[in-house]
Amino acid sequence: MAQTQICAHRGCSAVAPENTLAAFQMAIESGADGIELDVHLTRDGEIVVLHDETVDRTSDGTGWVKDLELSEIKRLDSGRWFSEKYRGETIPTLSEVLELVRETNLWINIELKNNIVIYPRMEELVVEAVERYGLQDRVILSSFNHHSLRHLKLYRPGLELAALFGAGLYEPWVYAEHLGVDAIHPYYPAVTDEMIAGCHARGIRVRPYTVDDRKQMERLISANADAIITNFPHRLRELVGP
């Protein structure tokens, strides 16, 4: 039985500003097995790493990512909102994060944030970046936009794909097989022992999000979740062990 792995949600985002190089570096140091991050496209077609469709919440700027050029986004401070300690932290590009993790053993879960804004050619651009760094065997592409996942399945059949969802789906392994994905990333309250067992019986991996409570971590470890996505990778490491 494989040990449940640890995926640092937006990096080690409990103790560093989410989706920044500082948060990803702390995730590496915390003993995480993988990191999760979110991507959007700028007006000039560059892939940047942040969660929201706008820069308002996690920077000192305003505006939609789709309306800003990379040079404008790079001038923003993305750390001071979290703590004065992180003043000067910037919104990274996907390439900067891939460069950071390339020499580690971490896997990378890239969430395509294309369920509100439909970014033209986002799938192709992300895949091109991943292949440029030779990381296609260590990358999982996930999205709430399942049309996008189906497009990726046809575009690059060999990449690992994961369907994100928040509802309590009935027999989600049936849907996963129909969609052609390798894993599901469900909201943790919807995850049951039966769901995990049913998925595993069909070779579908299960990585619940976002789990910060120790009791829920223990429950999902006992249920043999393949990985747990958490803001507290160091806390989960204490439970999983070395």
Catalytic annotation, residues: 9, 51
Please give the Cα distance from 226 to 200 (Å, whole number). Answer: 9
Q: What DSSP line would sit under 171-217, residue for residue?
A: SHHHHHHHHT-SEEEEBGGG--HHHHHHHHTTT-EE--B----HHHH
Q: Are strands 34-41 and 47-49 parallel, antiparallel or unpaired?
A: antiparallel
- H or E element at residue 156: none
Residue 136 near residue 157, CB atoms below 8 Å: no
Please give the Cα distance from 11 to 9 (Å, whole number). Answer: 5
Please give the Cα distance from 96 to 104 (Å, whole number). Answer: 14
Please give the Cα distance from 199 to 194 (Å, whole number). Answer: 8
DSSP, res 54: B
DSSP, res 85: G
Provide Rg for the chain, Cα atoms: 17
